[in-house]
Structure 1
Amino acid sequence: MVTRVEHDPLRIEFTFPDGSSWTGRLAGSVNPRLTEDLALGVVQLIHPLGPWTTKGTAVVYLSQLRRMVALLAEAGFHGGVGDLRPAHMLPFWLAASGERVASTRRLLEGCGEHVHSSLRAHLAGNAVKKRPRSEPLEPYTEDQWQVIESGLRTVVRQHLSVQRELLALAELGPDPSDRGLNRQNYAWLFSQRGPLKVADTAAALGVSTAPFTYGGSRLLFEVREGLFPPVRLAAAAKALFGVYSGVVPDGISDLGLGDVTWAGDKSVLLDYVKRRRGPESVNLPARAVRLLEAWLELSTPLRRMAPAQVAEDLWLFSTSHRGMPPHRDGPEVIAISSFAAGNKAGGRKARRSLAVEIGLTDHEGQPVPLHSARIRTTYHNRLARRGWTGRTRIDPNHTREVEGSHYVSTTTPAQADAVDSVIEDAQAEIVRRSRPPLVLTDAQAADFAAQYPGEVARLGLDDESLAALLGSEMDVFTAACANQYAGEHGPAGKPCPARPWVCLLCPLAVFLPRHAPNLLRLKAYFARQSRQMTVSQFIAVFGPFADRLTHDVLPRFDAAVLTQAAADVQDVDAELPLRPEEVTV
């Protein structure tokens, strides 16, 4: 079956890639001709002809279609798509929101060549209003994440403990005391008959409904919800499953028993459908596997009595206390196929109740909603902060910009400040390393202040410190240091702890002819290290310094200076101030 337009009454019969279908009714329009033309355009936008793959998208766009037709009729337009001109659409778009402008432009694009060329020119250009940019979900804080994880885990564990106790009571058989109005008898009755309503329970026990009024049914509800998972428990299990696995929320909601493949006792391959992309699979983490085992145990008593049409749904819960009409072929149950369809209100209410129950609040103590998509954002945000995950993108449908804003760079203000500081330090380090080394001859050193006023200002030298620098008072092993207390490689105000080769990349280093022997000794040391280390090890430890010495520093010295200095080099470790772990063999 494919998506198609039907008449008498006018409607669109939608068929989506996951096999589901839906009827969008368009009868009673004030402009049937325009409505039908746009409906034919909608068909071109539904998979496989177009990008739309979900009922939610179709519902939104059909709503926009009806509104567009009604507003154009109010403005006096009663023709078809081919009669529309910029004079009709521009006033409509100027008066509409950016969201409606984007939606109606998309509807007209689906009509293709049926749209007049003058209007197609507008569709090919920029919209008169832009769709408002959605704000990425902010991940939960570390404290909130701990509250969510521990709170939801406690809810599931407590219910599992209660259910095991009730099943043990049910195995003891019926207890006729108190006319059967006791915990053991309720447990036995429900285990045999399913989640009965109050009237059905009274009939099964042969009593009137009077004992269940004015709070008398509290024990009955307690036992029934203990044996059969309520919507609150299903919502808690789904949210905790997202915490453990990071699977997209709509994929979790649509799971069935057939999507769970057990590869041994403790390994599970989960197949799910992401609505904007299609089928995906994941090897579940150990915690998610244990949660899945617990949920299957919790739902088994209800699943044994469920009708065939819902028994294969993974997230199964009892709603008998909601007054739902009973199924003809089984007890009264319903499966959560999605929080966005079929039981949307119940899902939202359950999550709100859970957030209050587990004490999920912000730093001011205000309640924070339990949001399934925000849980996934936090999961991947935490994963990204641990290091590379092995994937270039979390969602192939996203651009790198969207990935960054939704999953990686979405941080708290304190984390954002820390990231900015790291970036600033890294940029400053790149600038420092790109600066050419300051290598002087004796003549240049004698006239340093006149020839290099910019360098004198950069180094912050006065006459006294300049004289000390050009003399030998501020010498370190490989250079003269403009300020050993500047904190370039250690705490400010403390002597620099850097190793001799680090000076090669330091912006405070000044190289003079008297340093040539030590620079050659350092070059010989690099050569010895390169013979006893692998290439990758040497590059990681000494590579930048050896490159700087060989290609930037030594070539700036006069050849005669280097020849004279080479005579003093013995090529042994004793010539350098090394630590025990730095010596060569």
Structure 2
Amino acid sequence: MPAEVIREPLSLKVSLPGQEPVLVSIGKVANPDLAADLAEGLAATVHPNGPIAKLTTLKAFVVTLRRMVRELTADGFTGSAAELTRPLLGGLWLRSQYLVEYRTRTILRSFDQRHQTLAEPVRQMVFGTNYTRPLLNGPLKPYEPDEWNRLIDLCKAEVRRLGERHRAMITLAEGGQDPAVGGWSKANAAWLLTRTGPVSRVPVAEHLGMTLNNFKHRCGSVTKERETLFPTHIQAVPYVLLMSAWTGIVPDGLAGLTTDDVRWTGRQAMLLSYTKGRTSEESVVLSPRASGLLQQWLEHTELMRRHVPDELARHVWLVLGRNLVPHAGTFREYLLRTWVKQHALKGDNGEPFPVDRRRLRTTFIAQRGQREWSLRATIDPNHSPQVEGDHYLSAATPAQQAVIDDIISDAQSDLLRRASTPAVVDEAASAARLPEEVQRLGLDRGVLAELLAGERDVFTASCTDQLAGLHGPKGKPCPARPWVCLLCPLAVFAPRHLPNLLRLKAYFARQFRAMPREQFAVVFAPYAHRLSSQILPRFPAAAVAAAGKEVGDTDAELPLRAEEMTP
């Protein structure tokens, strides 16, 4: 069972997707019988039996459950769920907001589906139409440019300041010693905290052999050193806001990150996997600045991770709570408001800046749309895409029209060439069908002879004309990468190319494991599909198997650039 009701004290033991089992207390209420029935219904709504898949959602339902019991008790009701009446429920829902009605209906529906104890008139009402409707506020608007710049500049300045303080304190601690031996100083205090973890004054005073009062008078406090070495919840806010602004990851996906979700895909880029509640697991390759930000945060919290259990250390947003206990950050609205108030951040209207991480994502998407050509991006923001096309893409002179016609002709010819089947030959077959091959490939006998002899070989295939200019300047050697030959109409594949073709296939497999699916589909999928479905099947299976013995499945076998290496 994903959820179990515990009677004494009344609570729910739930196992939510991707989380450890947790006990959620309902607490004492005025009507225990009704609360127990509603708890049964709430347990039946937990995923996969119902819509509740997040702990925050479950706690919101618990609050509504307690409110329902409290208000019905105030109306004079003292019975169980089976004794509910239409007037009682109608009065509750008519004076409530949409979410209260939605949650209580959901609980009662699940309870009745499991136990079938509601009276028939009440059942018809519970499974009927809602009295209230949700308030639709419309899509979130992106932040105005001035507001956005103020927020980003403040976050960057705070991240820089906090990082510098942390590194300076670590350096200071490295030069310190045990204060019980060397006396109390800032360096010695930092030295002690790096070994004891984020502790209060009490264990520090005990370590020095002092009473707490003596420590207060003689040494003061360790708060400054502790908060510099171990970041608090409020100090993590600028990091989270910048990550939201620079990646566009949904708030729940960003908050649930673990260190297992972070992988380096190059010298300056990270692959970040996360879970989006409305869809499923997703991944994104972080930009260099976002990768650097995440790396700085992991370095900032590295010391604290040494002093917590491995399960807790897996959380990316590990922070120090008010009770000096490390925990995974949640970044609720009240915390963001507190951070805004501390830094006196204002919006364009002079009011405190309305930080909403959903709007950060909206602004990221809007800015990305302005960097690329799409329906949201125009040269002049006052023009529609149709006007932009009429003004900037129409040919004004015969010469311009001729250039556009040439571009269209070349593009159509390229599409036709790509749609043709790849040229796969072998020496014996080509010798028997020499006239047919010459005509099909559009070559003279001398060029075909050079192809069969390997005189025109490149890494992946033989090229009928390296100076044709399909992938670079005409008259210059082709600069295309090895896999581009798989779709090139000038490529001819022979059995001697099989080892390199199989090396490319292994390279595609390594890239598929290292890259997000969407990125692989754009960069390598057309070539991988052509190789696997149209080129390799045309060779004898025995030849493919023999060539496979020469493949070592390493990047060193291919002529790759540094940025093309498999991470």
TM-score (normalizing by structure 1)? 0.58
1:313 corresponds in structure 2 to 315
2:435 corresponds in structure 1 to none
Partners of 1:370 and 1:83 in 2: how far apart? 46
1:198 corresponds in structure 2 to 201
The one of 355, 375, 378 aligned to 2:363: 378
The one of 286, 289, 311 aligned to 1:287: 289
2:408 corresponds in structure 1 to 534
Partners of 1:28 and 1:186 in 2: how far apart? 45
1:139 corresponds in structure 2 to 142
- The DSSP-based 3-state class of the residue aligned with 1:270 is strand
2:183 corresponds in structure 1 to 180
Partners of 1:527 and 1:256 in 2: how far apart? 56
Which residue identity does 1:13 align to in structure 2?
K
Which residue identity does 2:61 align to in structure 1?
Y
Which residue identity does 1:166 align to in structure 2?
M
Detail structure 1 runs of 4+ shifted over 6 Å in the superposition.
Answer: 175-179, 498-501, 525-531
CA 1:536 to 1:168, structure 2 compared with 1: closer, same or farther past 3 Å?
Answer: same
Structure 1 residue 335 corresponds to structure 2 residue 327: yes
Partners of 1:143 and 1:527 in 2: how far apart? 42
Q: Deviations over 1:218-265 (max 9, x none)?
A: 6x4333333332333222222222222222222222222222223344
Structure 1 residue 366 corresponds to structure 2 residue 351: yes
Contact 1:99 1:130 (8 Å CA) reproduced: no
Equivalent positions of 1:26-65 (< 5 A) are 31-65=31-65
Structure 1 unaligned runs (5+)?
325-331, 341-346, 391-407, 410-414, 430-487, 491-497, 502-521, 539-585
CA RMSD after TM alignment: 4.3
2:3 corresponds in structure 1 to 3
The one of 246, 249, 267 aligned to 2:248: 246
Which residue identity does 2:146 align to in structure 1?
D
2:536 corresponds in structure 1 to none
CA 1:52 to 1:210, structure 2 compared with 1: closer, same or farther past 3 Å?
Answer: closer
Partners of 1:205 and 1:48 in 2: how far apart? 54
Contact 1:169 1:184 (8 Å CA) reproduced: yes
Equivalent positions of 1:495-534 (< 5 A) are 532=406, 534=408
Contact 2:180 2:208 (8 Å CA) reproduced: no
CA 1:191 to 1:85, structure 2 compared with 1: closer, same or farther past 3 Å?
Answer: closer
Question: Which sits farther off after the overlay, 45-54 or 116-125?
Answer: 116-125
Question: Which sits farther off after the overlay, 308-317 or 143-152?
Answer: 308-317
Contact 1:16 1:53 (8 Å CA) reproduced: yes
Structure 2 unaligned runs (5+)?
413-567
Q: Deviations over 1:528-560 (max 9, x none)?
A: 89975626989xxxxxxxxxxxxxxxxxxxxxx
What is the deviation of 1:28? 5.5
Partners of 1:307 and 1:530 in 2: how far apart? 65
Partners of 1:125 and 1:44 in 2: how far apart? 19
Equivalent positions of 1:435-450 (< 5 A) are none
- The DSSP-based 3-state class of the residue aligned with 1:339 is coil
Larger radius of gyration: 1
Structure 1 residue 107 corresponds to structure 2 residue 78: no
2:540 corresponds in structure 1 to none
TM-score (normalizing by structure 2)? 0.60
Which residue identity does 1:104 align to in structure 2?
T
Which residue identity does 2:408 align to in structure 1?
T
- The DSSP-based 3-state class of the residue aligned with 1:534 is helix
Contact 1:228 1:317 (8 Å CA) reproduced: yes
What is the deviation of 1:289? 0.9
What is the deviation of 1:178? 12
Contact 2:237 2:331 (8 Å CA) reproduced: no
What is the deviation of 1:357? 5.5
Q: Percent identity?
A: 28
Aligned length: 407
Partners of 1:527 and 1:292 in 2: how far apart? 50
Partners of 1:59 and 1:489 in 2: how far apart? 56
What is the deviation of 1:15? 2.0
- The DSSP-based 3-state class of the residue aligned with 1:152 is helix
The one of 123, 128, 131 aligned to 2:131: 128
CA 1:8 to 1:173, structure 2 compared with 1: closer, same or farther past 3 Å?
Answer: closer
